[in-house]
A and B are shown apart, each in its own frame.
Chain A
Amino acid sequence: MSHAFVEVQQAAKRFPGAKGGEDLAVFENVSFTLEKGEFVCIIGHSGCGKSTIMNALAGLDRFSDGVMVMEGKEIDGPSLERGVVFQNYSLLPWLSALENVRFGVRARWQQWDGAKVTEHSLRYLEMVGLRDVVERKPAQLSGGMRQRVSIARAFATKPKLLLLDEPFGALDALTRGVIQDELIKIWTRDRQTVFMITHDVDEAILLADRILLMTNGPEARIAEAVEIDLPRPRNRAEIIKHPHFYAIRNYLVDFLVNRSATMRPGDLDKNGLRYPKSINPVDLGSPEANPRPVTDDSTKVAATPNATPLTVTPKETHHG
């Protein structure tokens, strides 16, 4: 067996079919690994089961099949070793920003005295630029500020694995950019392993070391793992000037727009346990290696420089 930090093997999620019909599989045979200190994003259309995978890693949900192992121990139930940042922030509204972070820190280090908990919490709130509003309740904070509190709470407990479920999905583009920068800063300091769901291709390229691509559900699979070899530290302004940027971006957009819907689950399942094929889009420069020439209209639009961040419109499915 390999010894990756986190291993997910042949995971599946099925729901019972209507009236004795066949079970409906959201995804099948999903396997992947996370290395320590790696930042991995997962992209796919709504309904492919990304959130189920995330919740299972968090211990809040269970796969119908498959195993998850972290540092040699099976993941079974929630743990402080795995911190979660939810899309809807999930702050406790009766507690102030500081108290929300303290809630996490106190749970993590129960032997700490009050002053130490407060000091530690304030340090992380300061990192996300919220030093001046720590006494405010979540209802008195903007969406961006709330998500910062949530991020501060998650990082402050120093989990070994950090799970981010579309943390910026509800934020406007400007706020999103600012908080992405803060996330990079705070992640660069602590180098936690991060697993993040996103719908935003640019966000994934900016943040990730690797991007897992999921085909459309039902019967979704992780098709490929795209390696992002752009140099770090990255920032939003510089990254688009990098020669590899558009090769990567076009590859991802092409996958989401075209290939995610047409890939056959059967082709991806051939050999039982199978980790997604590693792809480096930059190496696919020659036309014959490129799975599909970039002639398609939608990819042309996406390939226009300084385009607005392309976000995959969530597609409604019957079991989103």
Chain B
Amino acid sequence: MDRTTTEWKFSLNVRAGILAMLLLALFLGLWEGLNRAPILGGTGAELSEYEQMMGGADETARVPPPSDIMLRAWDELSNPFYDAGPNDKGIGIQLGHSLFRVLTGYFAAALVAIPIGFLIGMSPLMYKALNPFIQVLRPISPLAWMPLALFIIRDAQASAIFVIFICSIWPMLLNTAFGVAGVRQDWVNVARTHELSPLRTAFKVILPAAAPTILTGMRISIGIAWLVIVAAEMLVGGTGIGYYVWNEWNNLDLTSVIFAILMIGVVGMLLDLALGAVAKLVAYQE
């Protein structure tokens, strides 16, 4: 079938949207249908509290159906910022704590990674000197730093931020170095023939030229940071979406766990979209 000549009633986007909705409906329908707890003792019989907790009269507990999760989502999202004690805070507050840690660690990493990346990209000497360190430090799982961070920093919040810092730094550092080293010599020559000072060359020519590559690194970093914060908060506890997931798991509240998983996905997507929008601003066509 030749896609260019086939005439469709709707645009590609509309058709893709319809297909996505159909797939979602099919998936949720199956989930809902296959997770109904069998009700023993005939219709109308009330389940005991114990039976309810154990998933009806079933042998094993069941994953809560989507309808429950949607109700929970409605509940949580209609009052996201309530605070009823250490173990009962609104989803907005938990996400807010996570976002604060991620963004603090992430921007601190950017402040370090971009200048160092610049240096490494500009100077083959620095590249060769620093490369062994980077190659050893980069593959370390950010969570492996956690005990050391807790010991040295002695503060759970700051340790979580440090873990985000250390996991965000590498993609930004390497992409900045790569972008800066790859700036076309022609453009550097333009700066040289116009007698630009090294500082002005860095800001007027090299930075804009390398910006798309740097932004790619920043986009990878924010994704990794958002992945890592969940695990980090499970470890340090107290607040945050990672802690929330783990706490609800301890409460055996699978509905909240699934709701939280979805929220993690949505926020991660929004972070990526935001970075994508910034990347568009600095993109250029050669």
Contacts and interface: CB of A to CB of B under 8 A. Distances in A.
Interface of A: 58-60, 78-80, 82-84, 86, 88, 90, 92-94, 103-104, 107-108, 137, 139, 157
Interface string B250-286: 0000000000000000000000000000000010111
Nearest to B285: A139
Contact of B186 (A78, A86, A108): A86
A78 B189 CA distance: 9
In the complex, which range does the number of interface residues on chain B fall in? 10 to 19
Given A90-B190, A92-B208, A79 B284 contact: no
Interface in B191-213: 192-196, 204-205, 208-209, 211
Contacts of B194: 78, 80, 103-104, 107-108, 157
Contact of B208 (A58, A94, A157): A94
22 contacts: A59-B192, A59-B193, A60-B192, A78-B189, A78-B193, A78-B194, A79-B193, A80-B195, A82-B193, A84-B189, A84-B193, A90-B186, A90-B187, A92-B187, A93-B286, A94-B208, A94-B282, A103-B194, A104-B194, A107-B195, A107-B196, A139-B285
Interface of B: 186-187, 189-190, 192-196, 204-205, 208-209, 211, 282, 284-286
B195 A79 contact: yes
Contact of A83 (B193, B205, B209): B193
A170 to B, nearest CB: 13
A104 B192 CA distance: 11
A139 B187 contact: no
A137 B189 contact: no
A206 B146 CA distance: 73
Residue of A59, A86, A93, A139 contacting most chain B CB atoms (<10 Å) = A93
A60 B285 contact: no
Q: Is the interface of A mostly helix, strand, loop or mixed?
A: loop
A237 B140 CA distance: 71
Nearest to B284: A94
Given A92-B190, A139-B286, 10 more contacts: A78-B192, A79-B195, A84-B193, A92-B209, A94-B209, A103-B190, A103-B204, A104-B194, A137-B284, A139-B284
B195 A90 contact: no
B285 A93 contact: yes
A139 B285 CA distance: 6
A90 B208 contact: no
B224 to A, nearest CB: 27
Contacts of A104: 194
A86 B188 CA distance: 13
Counting from the closest, the 7 A-B pairs by CB-CB distance are A139-B285, A94-B284, A107-B194, A90-B186, A78-B192, A93-B284, A78-B193
A83 B286 CA distance: 23
A92 B204 CA distance: 10
A86 B208 contact: no
Nearest to A163: B193
A137 B196 CA distance: 22
A257 to B, nearest CB: 32
A80 B186 CA distance: 16
Contacts of B195: 78-80, 107
A187 B86 CA distance: 78
A137 B187 CA distance: 15
B198 to A, nearest CB: 13
A137 B283 CA distance: 12
B189 A86 contact: yes
Contacts of A84: 189, 193
A68 B197 CA distance: 24
B123 to A, nearest CB: 19
B196 A90 contact: no
Contacts of B286: 93, 139
B116 to A, nearest CB: 24
Contacts of B211: 94
A104 B191 CA distance: 9
A100 to B, nearest CB: 9
Contacts of A78: 189, 192-195
B84 to A, nearest CB: 51
